[in-house]
């Protein structure tokens, strides 16, 4: 580990004329709620997770002159980059592959410190991880930086030095849990979920005291063995929607990404994951909705007490998680002001839900091809499934769209209050679903779904393989679409009528109103999510991109006007 002993040492660099961060101030609840435009203190900048910066210095009229301010080579590789940087008091805090954490001077890109937990990959005895040794970032609060590790630990680091303040194991040791998500901090509690449903685990979300690391509360997303009793009434209600012995393979429902918080309602919103196994006829042979899989759930911020839920995919059979990014908006819908929560989960439908009550408002397909359902019933809020969708019940394998990678995955969408549009990175996919026997084995996928479709022709996909769609959440309709040249990264919307978006190896700036491309720069494959901040009256845009080693390896790229 390389670190600076204190912020005093960091400030001494400024005395040499090399530039330095300003003195670090405690990040308290007020700073997180107010979300100052010049900083980026939370994963989505604000608690509503809008990924919107009000800054206007870089705008549609001058973005064509945007140039590189500085770059920094991330010394740890091994997976794609997915982190959204945090910017506080002139310092950028972010993560690379395998939970590697670093702090940079936001003006110059000079490294202030880094911390490497030295987690081996799975082949070297490290944790079992579904989809890459990735990490989506850190949280800041008080004088600490918080990061979740692949091996299930939550670690607090000193913001000034990177020295470990405390560590807590959030998952049972020797199990197939892992952490890839960015923590959130609400009222002094660090909120963290975990991953691992493919391997067979029981999902939950936990809150830890930011100062001490003591656990304050935990809420399970699916019920455990009824013989052991239920943790609360929500689990008792959920158990009535399961059959068989689902708890043997855990049940799933892991919370590995999307969260949001409404400080007025004091509600934390979490998205829950797929079932374990994927195939409902294996995990719950008598059917049932299997609460609270693939759901948006509202919990009390202080206690973690259940308030309401909405299930996007009842009885999930397809790995259609609802952990994709959540966003809180205040919209006029049909002439009525509504406080809503929106989500575009894997299943291909864009949902608008009342965030106070959990009432279903609307859902419309954003994917170009959806063959598992024909729509969502306006009266019940339930999907209208196609006859071939339940492959376990029909006994016949079938190609369905979307596939398990989803029509939308981890890539953050963003909101622009001026245009009234959400900017949604999406893709069109398909997958051959067929039931397969499950013999639970630790360290291996236990999905109950076969792979491959020998002799079965894959239907031609409709629409671009990947794209950015501008979506009107008030009317639940598409405004415009821009096809991607390759895979997606996350998006950033700004007050300068811009959308920044990663596609292939380029970061692109689009006109937020029309979708017209105004600027781009090659930053390497596997882009993460850009952020914007302001220092000394100058606006910056920062993103991480690049995979592998050498010239195309992982870097932090920061841009500004001449």
What confidence tens digit (pLDDT) does each residue in 19-72 have?
A: 457 778 999 999 999 999 999 999 999 999 999 999 999 999 999 999 999 999
Kindly report the average pLDDT of the chain as a whole number.
93
Q: What are phi and psi of 32, to 5 degrees?
A: -70, -35
Give, in degrees to the nearest 5, the angle at Cα 509 between 556 and 259: 65
Contact between 340 and 361 (Cβ < 8 Å): yes
Q: How high is the pLDDT of residue 443?
A: 74
Choose between 131 and 348: higher pLDDT.
Answer: 348
The fraction of the chain above a pLDDT of 90, given in percent, is: 85
Assess whether pLDDT exceeds 60 at residue 12.
Answer: no
9, two tokens? 């040492």
Q: What is the pLDDT of residues 506-529, one digit of tens each?
A: 999 999 999 999 999 999 998 999
- Got the DSSP string for 162-203? --EEEEEE-S-TTSS-B--SPPEEETTEEEE--B-GGG--B-
**Of 195-204, 464-473, 506-515, where does mean pLDDT reach its minimum?**
195-204
344: pLDDT confidence band, cut at 50, 70 and 90?
very high
Q: How high is the pLDDT of residue 549?
A: 66
Please give the helix or strand (H or E) that residue 8 lies within, else none: helix 7-15
Q: Is 537 left (phi over 0), alpha (psi -120 to 50) or beta?
A: left
- Got the DSSP string for 481-531? EEE-SS-EEEEEEETTTEEEEEETTEEEEEETTT--EEEEEE--SS----E
Give the active site residue among 319, 330, 354, 377: 319
Contact between 487 and 425 (Cβ < 8 Å): no
Residue 175 to residue 152: CA distance in whole angstroms: 9
SS3 33: helix
Q: For 266-407, list the strands marked E by DSSP.
A: 267-271, 275-276, 295-300, 306-311, 326-333, 336-343, 349-354, 360-365, 373-376, 383-385, 398-400
Listing from the earlier edge strand, what are the strands of the sheet with 466-472? 414-416, 421-427, 466-472, 477-483
Q: Is 236 left (phi over 0), alpha (psi -120 to 50) or beta?
A: alpha
* Cis amide bond preceding 277, omega within 30: yes
Listing from the earlier edge strand, what are the strands of the sheet with 506-511? 52-53, 488-494, 498-503, 506-511, 517-522
Of 184, 390, 159, 145, nearest in space to 267 by CA: 184
Q: What is the pLDDT of residues 391-411, one digit of tens each?
A: 999 999 999 999 999 999 999
Q: Which domains does the chain have, with CATH numbers?
A: 170-404+429-461 (2.140.10.10)
397, two tokens? 């394998």
The model's pTM is: 0.95
Q: How high is the pLDDT of residue 550?
A: 67
The fraction of the chain above a pLDDT of 70, given in percent, is: 96
CB burial string 305-342: b at 16+ within 10 A, e below: ebbbbbbbbbbbbbbbbbbbbbbbbebebeeeebebbb
Q: How high is the pLDDT of residue 17?
A: 33
319 catalytic per annotation: yes
Residue 215 to residue 496: CA distance in whole angstroms: 42
79, two tokens? 């997976």
Q: How high is the pLDDT of residue 7?
A: 32
Q: Across residues 473-479, what is the average pLDDT?
A: 98
Contact between 91 and 103 (Cβ < 8 Å): yes
Contact between 89 and 103 (Cβ < 8 Å): no
Distance of alpha carbon 317 from its chain centroid, rounded?
22
Q: Across residues 294-309, what is the average pLDDT?
A: 98
Start-to-end Cα distance in the chain: 36
Residue 496 to residue 479: CA distance in whole angstroms: 19
């Amino acid at each position: 580990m390389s670190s600076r002993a204190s912020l005093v040492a960091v400030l001494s660099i400024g005395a040499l004329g090399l530039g330095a961060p300003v003195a670090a101030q405690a990040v308290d609840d007020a700073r997180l709620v107010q979300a100052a435009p010049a900083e980026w203190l939370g994963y989505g900048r604000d608690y509503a997770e809008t990924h919107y910066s009000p800054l206007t210095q870089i705008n549609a009229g001058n973005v064509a002159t945007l140039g590189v301010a500085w770059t920094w080579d991330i010394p740890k590789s091994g997976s794609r980059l997915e982190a959204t940087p945090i910017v506080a008091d002139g310092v950028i805090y972010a993560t690379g592959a395998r939970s590697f954490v670093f702090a940079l001077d936001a003006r110059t890109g000079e490294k202030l410190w880094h911390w490497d937990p030295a987690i081996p990959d799975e082949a070297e005895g490290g944790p079992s991880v579904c989809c890459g040794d990735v990490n989506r970032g850190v949280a800041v609060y008080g004088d600490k930086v918080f990061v979740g590790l692949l091996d299930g630990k939550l670690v607090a680091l000193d913001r000034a030095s990177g020295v470990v303040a405390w560590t807590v194991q959030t998952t049972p040791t020797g199990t197939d849990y892992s952490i890839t998500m960015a923590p959130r901090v609400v009222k002094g509690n660090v909120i963290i979920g975990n991953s691992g449903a493919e391997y067979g685990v029981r999902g939950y979300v936990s809150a830890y005291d930011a100062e001490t690391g003591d656990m304050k509360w935990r809420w399970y997303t699916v019920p455990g063995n009824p013989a052991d009793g239920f943790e609360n009434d929500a689990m008792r209600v959920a158990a009535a929607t399961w059959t068989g012995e689902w708890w043997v393979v855990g049940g799933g429902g892991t919370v590995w990404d999307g969260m949001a918080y409404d400080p007025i309602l004091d509600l934390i919103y979490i998205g829950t994951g797929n079932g374990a196994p994927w195939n409902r006829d294996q995990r719950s042979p008598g059917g049932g909705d299997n609460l609270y899989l693939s759901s948006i759930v509202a919990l009390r911020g202080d206690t973690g007490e259940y308030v309401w839920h909405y299930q996007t995919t009842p009885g999930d059979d397809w790995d259609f998680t609802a952990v994709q990014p959540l966003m809180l908006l205040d919209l006029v819908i049909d002439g009525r002001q509504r406080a809503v929560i929106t989500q575009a989960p894997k299943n291909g439908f864009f949902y608008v839900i009342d965030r106070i009550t959990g009432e279903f408002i609307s859902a419309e397909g954003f994917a170009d091809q959806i063959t598992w359902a024909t729509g969502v019933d306006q009266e019940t809020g339930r999907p209208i499934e196609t006859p071939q969708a339940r492959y376990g019940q029909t006994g016949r394998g079938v190609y369905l769209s979307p596939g398990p990678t989803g029509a939308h995955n981890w890539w953050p969408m963003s909101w622009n209050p001026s245009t009234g549009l959400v900017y949604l990175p999406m893709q069109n996919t398909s997958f051959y679903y067929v039931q397969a026997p499950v013999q639970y084995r630790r360290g291996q996928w236990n999905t109950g779904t076969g792979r491959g479709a020998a002799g079965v022709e894959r239907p031609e996909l409709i629409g671009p393989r990947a794209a950015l769609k501008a979506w009107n959440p008030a009317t639940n309709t598409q405004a415009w679409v821009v096809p991607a040249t390759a895979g997606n990264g996350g998006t950033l919307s700004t007050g300068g009528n811009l959308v920044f978006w990663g596609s292939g190896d380029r970061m692109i700036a689009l006109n937020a109103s029309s979708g017209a491309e105004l600027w781009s720069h090659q930053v390497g494959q596997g882009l993460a999510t850009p952020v914007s901040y302001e220092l000394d009256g100058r606006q910056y845009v920062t993103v991480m991109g690049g995979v592998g080693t050498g010239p195309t390896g992982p870097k932090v790229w920061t841009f500004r006007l001449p």
